[in-house]
Amino acid sequence: MERNKTLASLAVGECGILSDVCHPSPDMARRLRLLGFTAGAKVVRVGSSPGGKMGAYEVLGAVIALRDVDAEKVMLCSAPSERKGVRNNIG
């Protein structure tokens, strides 16, 4: 059985369609939804931190940095795809 894809599992340059925010903290789940991480939204991972514990994601035209522990709580409903011309690191 394939493990559910999460925002954190995207490689730099990959896209996905968001399915749900399953964060255990209601406040953080609400904050993520207010930032645009809602069902049906297209998201692209545009960068990663040098230490590899954070990612930058483009959603609704904005780039948002999230810790991987939070991005693991954002579920994807479609297979990722390549997007050309994206940045490859944060900094």
pLDDT in tens, 80-89: 455 544 444 4
CA distance 76 to 47: 18
CA distance 37 to 7: 10
The 10s digit of each residue's pLDDT in 29-73 is 999 999 999 999 999 999 999 988 999 999 999 999 999 999 999
Q: What are the chain's domains?
A: 7-82 (2.30.30.90)
Asked if 71 contacts 85 with a C-beta cutoff of 8 angstroms, the reply is: no
CB atoms within 10 A of CB 91: 8
Section 1-5 average pLDDT: 62
pLDDT at 51: 86
pTM above 0.95, yes or no: no
